[in-house]
Amino acid sequence: MAARDTADSRLPHLRGSVTARVGRVVLSPAAATTIRDEAARSDDGNETGGLLLGHIEPTGTAQVRYAGGPGPAAVRRPAFFLRDLHHAQRVAADAFARDRSMWIGEWHTHPRAAPTPSDQDLRTYLGFLDDPELGLDAFITIILTSRTGAWDRPEAHAWICYRHAAEHVPLILAPHKHSAPADPNTPLPTTRTRP
């Protein structure tokens, strides 16, 4: 996503457009750790989640460099999650200052639902996509579920949402900087490649 010169009050300086269809999501080890650790809070039966920050490459790969948590004022219920906007703005501004990472989506858990975007999720994403101030052409979402109800090894599922459709895409864990490059076709160990 490309940043514009102006900012709005919700997520300043984090707007742009996708120039290619997104075919996969690559998650940095740091983002994966944040998501996994925070997802464990769903042991209480309530959803949790946060921001996805990074870039969408012209090749159609979404690079998620950072993930945020819900924030102290988040609303967490069994079938609903609303992140703390002020916390999200601080996390997004910090990521942008580090390496110009931008808001490209969100992640959340589904403690009692399928690993697909719910109707409410899709309405929310469509609202983001239809907001001309945000300038989004696609919205990345990662949904985590647990088959057993124990959140120590959740399953992660990546979706790309457009105005007309939501598509399940591969979610890939990027290698640590000092390790050998990972095979880009290797999915995140807790991810199924089909819903």
Structural domain harbouring 42? 24-173
Number of domains composing the chain: 1
In a domain, 186, yes or no: no
Please write the tens of the pLDDT for every residue from 97-154: 999 999 999 999 999 889 999 999 999 999 999 999 988 889 999 999 998 888 888 9
Q: Please give the sequence-ordered ranges of beta strands (E in DSSP) within the chain, or none if there are none.
A: 24-27, 49-56, 61-67, 75-77, 80-82, 102-109, 139-145, 155-161, 166-169, 171-173
Is 19 part of a structural domain of the chain?
no
CATH number for the domain spanning 148: value is 3.40.140.10
Average pLDDT, the chain: 83
In a domain, 10, yes or no: no
Residue 156, in any domain of the structure: yes
Establish if 178 belongs to a structural domain: no
Q: Per-residue pLDDT tens for 146-173? A: 988 888 889 999 999 999 999 999 999 9
Q: What is the dihedral angle through the alpha carbons of 27, 28, 34, 38, rounded to the nearest 10 degrees?
A: 20
pLDDT tens per residue, range 25-50: 999 999 999 999 999 999 999 999 99
Residue 191 pLDDT grade (very low, low, confident, very high; cuts 50, 70, 90): very low
Task: For residues 3 and 103, give the distance between their C-alpha atoms in angstroms, rounded to a whole number.
Answer: 10
How many Å apart are CA 7 and CA 129, to the nearest integer?
16
